Structure 1
Amino acid sequence: LWVTGKNRQDYFHFGDVVTFDTTYKTNLYNMPFALFVGVNNHFQSVIFGGALMREETEAAFNWLFKTFVALMNDKHPVTILTDQALAMKGAIESALPNTKHRWCKWHVLRDVKGNIGHVYNKSSGFKKEFNKLVNDVTCVDEFESKWLSLVNRFNVSDNEYMVRLYDKRAMWAKPYFKGIFCAGMTSTQRSESANHMLKQYIPRSSPMHVFVRQYNKFLGSRMSDEAREFHLNANKSRTYESTYPIEDDAASIYTRSVLLKFQDELYKCGSYVVTPVVHGAQYMVSVAPSKVKDATKRKWRNVKIDDDGQFINCNCGMFDHVGMLCRHALKVMIREYFLKIPSKNILKRWTIWATGSYPAGMDMSDNRPHTDDTSYLKNLLHIAVEDLMKASSHDKKSLEAAVEGMGKLTAAIRKNTSMTETNHRLEPPHVESFVNIHVNTVLAPERVKKSGRPASVRPKSKMDYAAASAKKKNKSNKTAKKKPCGELKPRERALSSLYDNDQTTDTPSKELEDEVSPNIPSKKRKVENV
């Protein structure tokens, strides 16, 4: 299991939602490589850790999740997205009891195609309607009615996979977990994207030392992309799409990437109309009648203003699911002349202060645990120690002062800590002499045998594929040069006839007589001697 200091910092700030997925054929030993991936305040994929696994069993996943959380100071994610593997489900219930587990939408769509391929095609219309059901429907009653209509119309109501998928609909259907925070990630597509980028750095069937070296390069490239976006966010001016004051406020709070999504919702709110229910407290919002084909099928959203205007909530569930205001809430804010975004509708993870302290007086929402949680305090202590190391690393005197101060602080804590049992006392660790340390040789792991007939050749490397491609290209070029059967070959002429004007013989050859018509006399050019 690889977890760097940068991974731990990213997890502290953005570890509320984690996608977990495994990738294959990255090493010589056929061991699946698992990635913990999240999203930062620039909507970039961030790596929280990676692990090589010997087997994909519930016990292996249980160990992996427990070890990962222990390395992250016992901070559990709010939500974790995985595929439909039963081994992962049992391990998450055991190792992450406080985490909400949901299935990846991308895997659901892929498995539907594999299980009912005879129906899942463009001509039948099932694919289009099923994708609409997964992506657009947010009401439970609407989902139930459309699901029943869909399976009956395409005669898949008795299909075992569709029955099992419906029984587990709370794990993947949007109406059943729209109130669960997912940071805009309803699938492990970020993990799939990270796997794709990883395979660009790591050749197929790499030995372990190459795998580790290239994985570190991969982490470095992610840090470089994040630093570039941070630079652009700090130095590049924002582009405004409207003249609303709330857009000016959003530009001063959100990062560039988040601002683009906010502006998209702000633009789309222009197509909606508002009907007040309780002035200043509750409104009904729907798309304008001229924007839909059938005005009777318009969807109405209930928007409420709470806490004296400090919080706006809509039953579409976008704020609970993504952490950003929806177009319905923005329409109500424009109608009620809001000049700024309500403080409780600003999620710190999306702001320019996500990795630092925000300005005084701003009461932002945060998905982190409360201050009475020990894991939260451990993370704060970890960051404080890192800041102390950075501040004191310039000269020897500063380092000595930092060590002396940490020693005094440790002694004071030990003195104030009341221990009931002597064997639980905090004592300085015993440091062995370097002479007595025994170095054990770490051997390479055994290769995992594949099921089925064993391969007759060794695993191909990148050079093997390049050589095979070049050989195939040369073969195609040789085939193109061959003349078709029956085509006449060009007549070979003597070298002298190419330069001399007169024929070498008075009578033409038999081949020449056959080619020249007897009725047309052959002409000879005269060359004057100069």
Structure 2
Amino acid sequence: MIFVPFTAIDNHKKSVSIGAGMIINETAESYEWLLNAFLGAFVEQPRMVMTDQDVAMKKAVATVFPNSRHRLCMWHITQKLSSKVSKRIFENTDFKKKFNQIVWDVSISPERFERKWKDIMKEFNLEDDAWFKHMFEIRSTWIPAYFRELAMSGLMRTTSRSESENSFFNNFTNPNATLIHFMLSYESAMERQGSRLDILDHQSHNKQPRFITGLEFERQASKLYTRTIFLLISVTDEGSNGVIIIKEKREIKQILEKKVAMKKKRKQDDDEEVVEDIITMHEEDPEDGIHDSTTACTSGNKHVKRIYTFKVLINKDEDTVQCSCLTFERYGFLCRHIFFMFKAKDIEEIPEKYILRRWRKDLVPPGMRTRRTRYGESSEQSEKLTNELHFIVENCISMLSKDEAKLYALVDKVKELKNEIEDNVSRSRTKKTKEVILDFLGVEQP
């Protein structure tokens, strides 16, 4: 049987299994059955589904998820590149470099991509190649340029997370396992994921990040976002001009900023005044995946510098803000250009509409955290309350860990409450073995 896990991203940007199924073969009918089961559990169709170029899977996705965008894994496609061109072109020219520059660039526009593609095909005499013609025809299913405005919360362009999950499960089981052993191994894997989530949640709720600017929206972000997301968009103050830079990418290195200019442009749009603020930033070696802008190159003695122009549109009447880099649309958090505007206009808080629930600390309620019993529907509500109580107590202990006086006071209160509970709750009789097994399994003995 074939094990098929469904992988998504949690609020800490970690891969997480949200479901799994087992099918007897990899036919379109089997995949359709599996996707229908998934749809029955989650009700809504996913915004996007990413797979390799498997024909059966493609057919099943189109049938069961007609409203979802189906994206092909770029890694699987680009791995075929060496076999689709001659060895002379692949190894002795800059074809590979030029090809990767346009297909992996998330900032390039569809029009510019198509123009660049045709230039490369013409330069290397590949215009009549059947494989390249086909890949160009289906470009909207795998090239990042055609997914620029799709809110994917930073979802990858490849199935690497899925491959990583497969490797993760391989640590717990092997092909020779029986179905019972496999299910026990699967539960162990889920417990490992739950344990990791507990650790990251604990860090987010109890570790105070270091503030760099002291601005109000920086403090607000630290209270709302998980620690991972906050560090991803951590704020740094650049020089005496007080420019705010938000580092959306993982790289912590300082972004080289030479000059920042702001302009205001007022225009009438259906009797509504719109203020358009334009930010011009001069940067060297810009971070890939962030910029979406007009580019100009000037030659220098040491480097080729690119000038990027970002447009931030603020509509005061509708209380909306949008940047041409589309960082919020793609990743789900605001970009450095908008934060710069916030500081310039003395806006102290991030508007609620721009704080996505999926990146918040409180995404998973305390009662829905790691289960302490495997089966049984009768104790579900008790399980939620137990988890919430554990969460509250652990938070209290963490907050008072450095204050012995208050810890003593907390211990006294808990002891007092414990004594009160013991006086009012009669001790339950010892359960028989059959009752214990019934509670554990959640089913009657045949």
Q: 1:201 aligns with which of 169, 172, 187?
A: 172
SS at match of 2:189: helix
Distance 1:155 1:327, change over 3 A: farther
SS at match of 1:313: strand
TM-fit CA distance, 1:41: 0.7
Find the counterpart in structure 2 of residue 355 from structure 1: 364
Find the counterpart in structure 1 of residue 413 from structure 2: none
TM-fit CA distance, 1:255: 0.8
Does structure 2 conserve the Cα–Cα contact (< 8 Å) formed by 1:306 and 1:312?
Answer: yes
Q: Which runs of 5+ in 1 are unaligned?
A: 1-30, 358-382, 399-433, 438-530
Find the counterpart in structure 2 of residue 342 from structure 1: 351
Q: Which runs of 5+ in 2 are unaligned?
A: 236-244, 248-253, 267-273, 287-295, 299-304, 367-376, 390-420, 426-443
State the percentage of identical aligned residues.
25
C-alpha distance in 2 between matches for 1:58 and 1:115: 28
Find the counterpart in structure 2 of residue 83 from structure 1: 52
What is the identity, as a one-letter code, of the residue corresponding to 1:118? Answer: K
Distance 1:243 1:112, change over 3 A: farther
C-alpha distance in 2 between matches for 1:240 and 1:98: 42
Distance 1:32 1:162, change over 3 A: farther
Does structure 2 conserve the Cα–Cα contact (< 8 Å) formed by 1:282 and 1:305?
Answer: yes
Q: 1:118 aligns with which of 87, 95, 114?
A: 87
C-alpha distance in 1 between matches for 2:17 and 2:285: 42
Q: 2:206 aligns with which of 235, 239, 243?
A: 235
Distance 1:277 1:105, change over 3 A: farther
Matches of residues 253-292 of structure 1 in structure 2 within 5 Å?
253-263=224-234, 266-267=246-247, 271=257, 273-278=260-265, 281-288=275-282
Q: 2:297 aligns with which of 294, 297, 304?
A: 294
Find the counterpart in structure 2 of residue 162 from structure 1: 132
Q: 2:70 aligns with which of 81, 97, 101?
A: 101
Find the counterpart in structure 2 of residue 53 from structure 1: 23
Find the counterpart in structure 2 of residue 325 from structure 1: 334
Find the counterpart in structure 2 of residue 470 from structure 1: none
Distance 1:117 1:197, change over 3 A: farther
Find the counterpart in structure 2 of residue 450 from structure 1: none
C-alpha distance in 2 between matches for 1:310 and 1:53: 49
SS at match of 1:106: helix
C-alpha distance in 2 between matches for 1:223 and 1:290: 42
Partner deviation per Cα, 1:360-388 (whole Å, 9 max, x = no partner): xxxxxxxxxxxxxxxxxxxxxxx9x9547
Find the counterpart in structure 2 of residue 187 from structure 1: 158
Residue 314 (str. 1) matches residue 323 (str. 2): yes
C-alpha distance in 1 between matches for 2:231 and 2:91: 33
C-alpha distance in 1 between matches for 2:310 and 2:321: 13
Distance 1:203 1:120, change over 3 A: farther
C-alpha distance in 1 between matches for 2:382 and 2:315: 42
SS at match of 1:288: strand
Find the counterpart in structure 2 of residue 371 from structure 1: none
C-alpha distance in 2 between matches for 1:119 and 1:320: 41
C-alpha distance in 2 between matches for 1:274 and 1:105: 37
Find the counterpart in structure 2 of residue 362 from structure 1: none
C-alpha distance in 1 between matches for 2:53 and 2:64: 17
C-alpha distance in 1 between matches for 2:9 and 2:146: 23
Does structure 2 conserve the Cα–Cα contact (< 8 Å) formed by 1:83 and 1:103?
Answer: yes
C-alpha distance in 2 between matches for 1:227 and 1:36: 21
Highest CA radius of gyration, 1 or 2?
1
Distance 1:213 1:147, change over 3 A: same
C-alpha distance in 2 between matches for 1:352 and 1:236: 12
TM-fit CA distance, 1:109: 2.3
Matches of residues 331-410 of structure 1 in structure 2 within 5 Å?
331-356=340-365, 386-387=380-381, 390-391=384-385
C-alpha distance in 2 between matches for 1:247 and 1:120: 50
In the superposition, the TM-score normalised over structure 2's length comes to 0.68
> How many positions carry a matched residue from both structures?
344
Distance 1:284 1:120, change over 3 A: farther
Q: 1:226 aligns with which of 173, 190, 197?
A: 197
SS at match of 1:281: strand
Does structure 1 conserve the Cα–Cα contact (< 8 Å) formed by 2:283 and 2:308?
Answer: no
Distance 1:392 1:134, change over 3 A: closer
Computed over aligned residues only, the root mean square deviation of the Cα atoms, in angstroms, reads: 3.4
TM-fit CA distance, 1:246: 2.7
C-alpha distance in 2 between matches for 1:120 and 1:260: 43
Does structure 2 conserve the Cα–Cα contact (< 8 Å) formed by 1:312 and 1:345?
Answer: no
Find the counterpart in structure 1 of residue 404 from structure 2: none
Partner deviation per Cα, 1:421-441 (whole Å, 9 max, x = no partner): xxxxxxxxxxxxx89x8xxxx
Distance 1:290 1:71, change over 3 A: closer
C-alpha distance in 1 between matches for 2:89 and 2:362: 46
Does structure 1 conserve the Cα–Cα contact (< 8 Å) formed by 2:153 and 2:331?
Answer: yes
